[in-house]
Amino acid sequence: MPFLISFGLSLFFVLSSFAVPIGEPQWGQTGHRTIGEIATDHLTNRAKKKIENLLDGHNLAYVSTFGDEIKSDKRYDKYYTWHYVNFPIGSRYEDSKKEEKGDIITGMEHCISVLKDENASRADQVFHLKLLVHLIGDLHQPLHVGRAEDRGGNDIKVSWHYKKSNLHRVWDTQMIESWNMSYTELEQNMGQLSKEQIRSIERGSLLDWMYDSRELAERVYASASPDDKLGYRYSYDHLGTVMEQLRKGGIRLAKVLNEIYS
């Protein structure tokens, strides 16, 4: 085979084996890492020690994208539906038809139960810790609590600064990337919260937090229609919500981990 063709083919296979992280990141890497960084700031010393030990010198920001990195590996197909939950607007999760392979709620609950199980192997604990960090992040992207018919906005085609996109990607990645700050800069510029404000964010269960996202998702669906041209105006209106969700995600992730390792 001529060198250029075989080189081209190998390049194609190498690139396509990374297809998901390059093509369609969830909350974008920056969003997930920001949540990991904020969570690290809110960990108790005990939880911090336990996590440092399990993650072998990596931090929560570093492992926060793990859930997406395994997505293009067939061995991990069973986790694909764990990143989101869809149910009809106006209905309750509890009454809705459940995804057979599990959803973000059952996924987080499973991870938590493994982390609380003293007999779970170290490898299992590490895997489920990394996955939990990712899933609590996803839970705070409103369109991860979306409608099945448009796959959480993935099928709502819009443009973003004149380039083809979809509503889901605008919320996962593009508003954050357009702001052009690193995850550490985002974390450092979140602004101060009072103890009472933090306590109020921490309150509630996984289901309550899922319903928070559902309420926002309804507003996100109302904020754009197919073929809309989105850009600066959209960021002016919604970047604040994105930042608030990243902060809630970080504080709540820390709360869950502090409880597990208390």
List contacts with Zn ion (CB under 5 A).
26, 67, 83, 138, 172
Interface pick for ligand ADE out of 36, 137, 152, 250 (rule CB under 6 A): 152
172 contact, one of Zn ion, ligand ADE, none, CB 5-8 Å limit per kind: Zn ion
E strand or H helix that includes residue 194: none
CA distance 220 to 218: 5
What are the φ/ψ torsions at residue 145 (nearest 5 degrees)?
-120, 70
| Segment contacting ligand ADE by CB under 6 A, of 150-158, 184-192, 202-210, 221-229 | 150-158
Shortest distance in whole angstroms from residue 25 CB to Zn ion: 8
165 contact, one of ligand ADE, Zn ion, none, CB 5-8 Å limit per kind: none
Q: Which of 103, 102, 125 is nearest to 114 (CA)?
A: 125
36 contact, one of Zn ion, ligand ADE, none, CB 5-8 Å limit per kind: none
CA distance 251 to 194: 13
Does residue 87 contact residue 149 with C-beta atoms inside 8 Å? no
Interface pick for ligand ADE out of 84, 127, 160, 209 (rule CB under 6 A): 84
151 contact, one of ligand ADE, Zn ion, none, CB 5-8 Å limit per kind: ligand ADE
Tokens matching residue 129: 């810790």
CA distance 110 to 105: 9
| Segment contacting ligand ADE by CB under 6 A, of 54-62, 116-124, 151-159, 186-194 | 151-159
CA distance 257 to 40: 10
Chain residues in the site for ligand ADE (CB under 6 A): 83-84, 86, 143-144, 146, 151-152, 154
